[in-house]
């Protein structure tokens, strides 16, 4: 399988899922998750029309970013952001999908103010008990949202989650429904309908995510093939 044919196939499946949900395919953006894949593969995907790339480690992203400076790439941080990496991250990324605490949001805001840059952000919500998953707990979401609402350099545009993996992909649907409901609630109570986005869905479950309202799907394996190891 080539990257070109993978992209074609993913786009067809995105379209089909949109059709089932009565949505326009223009509402769904593909974040090509290039973590642990070399720059050459990013260039290949870029040549085939993709412009949004997702990385989960700041150091790896920094190396790629420097090589690809002249490309019109929108860089998305999809992995956990450690506070000591914020100063590097703000130089690279246009979007951060992993805002999960007041301390982190505050640090990102301060750094952005220093360099006079704004970014778009998602609040990452932890919807499962899994120890390995990052994100703010539902009980603390409202507090974090109210804090983020007042930021000037981090513009929160939606919610993000990484649900557990299920062999039976239908079992993931309630997690996506839940994230959408939380987004809708915050739109009423905190954000005055400015949360337009939902970052949810990966290679094995993006179609269900789209059916439940995803506007950014994060797809690695389906575009670039298998990674050598997990990358989390
Ligand atoms: C790796 C990763 C993805 C992409 O996973 P695939 O199964 O390869 O599509 C999406 N989101 C996050 C947060 C990731 O870490």
How does pLDDT run across 30-57, given as a tens digit for each residue?
999 999 999 999 999 999 999 999 999 9
pLDDT digit string, tens, across residues 8-18: 999 999 999 99
Please state, in angstroms and rounded to a whole number, the distance separating the CA atoms of residues 22 and 115: 42
- Give me ligand 1 centre to Cα 158, in Å: 18
Q: Is the pLDDT at 75 greater than 90, yes or no? A: yes
CB 62 within 8 A of CB 92: yes
pLDDT at 164 over 80: yes
pLDDT digits (tens, 9 = 90+) for 170-214: 999 999 999 999 999 999 999 999 999 999 999 999 999 999 999
The atom number, within ligand 1, closest to the CA of 202 reads 9
Confirm or reject: Cβ of 220 under 6 Å from ligand 1: yes
Whole-number pLDDT of residue 229: 61
Between the CA of 218 and the centroid of ligand 1 the distance, in Å, is 6
Domains and CATH numbers, the chain: 3-224 (3.20.20.10)
What is the residue-wise DSSP string for the chain?
A: --HHHHHHHHHHHHHHHHHHTT--GGG-EEEEE-TTS-HHHHHHHHHTT--EEEES-HHHHHHHHHHTTTS--EEEE-S---GGGHHHHHHH-SEEEEE--HHHHHHHHHHHHHHT--EEEEEEEE-S--TT--SEEHHHHHHHHHHHHT-SSEEEEEEE--PPP-SSGGGGHHHHHHHHHHHHHHHHHTSTT---EEE---TTTHHHHHHTT-SEEEESHHHH---SS---
- Return the ligand 1 atom nearest residue 203 CA: 9
Nearest to 216 by CA among 203, 202, 232, 198: 198
Distance from Cα 62 to the centre of ligand 1, integer Å: 19
Residue 28 near residue 19 (C-beta atoms within 8 A):
no
Task: Say yes or no to pLDDT of 232 above 50.
Answer: no
**Residue 26: how many CB atoms within 10 A of its CB?**
7
Atom of ligand 1 nearest to the CA of 98: 13
pLDDT tens profile 100-158: 999 999 999 999 999 999 999 999 999 998 877 899 999 999 999 999 999 999 999 99
Q: Is the pLDDT of residue 230 over 70?
A: no
């Amino acid at each position: 399988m080539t990257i070109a044919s993978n992209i074609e196939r993913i786009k067809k499946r995105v379209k089909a899922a949109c059709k089932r949900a009565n949505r326009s395919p223009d509402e769904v953006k593909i974040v090509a998750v290039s973590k642990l894949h070399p720059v050459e593969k990013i260039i290949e995907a870029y040549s085939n029309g993709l412009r949004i790339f997702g990385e989960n480690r700041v150091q790896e992203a920094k190396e790629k970013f420097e090589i690809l400076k002249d490309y019109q790439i929108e860089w998305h941080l999809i992995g956990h952001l450690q506070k000591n990496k914020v100063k590097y991250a703000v130089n690279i990324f246009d979007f951060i999908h992993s805002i999960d605490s007041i301390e982190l949001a505050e640090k990102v805001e301060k750094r952005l103010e220093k360099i006079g840059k704004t970014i778009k952000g998602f609040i990452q919500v932890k919807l499962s008990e899994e120890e390995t998953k990052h994100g703010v707990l539902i009980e603390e979401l409202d507090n974090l949202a109210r804090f983020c609402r007042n930021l000037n350099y981090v513009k929160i545009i939606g919610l993000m989650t990484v649900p557990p993996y299920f062999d039976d992909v239908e079992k993931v649907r309630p997690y996506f429904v839940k994230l959408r409901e939380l987004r809708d609630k915050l739109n009423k109570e905190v954000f005055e309908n400015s949360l337009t986005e939902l970052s949810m869905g990966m290679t094995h479950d993006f179609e269900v995510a789209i059916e439940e309202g995803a506007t950014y799907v994060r797809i690695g394996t389906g575009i670039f093939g298998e990674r050598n190891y997990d990358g989390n």
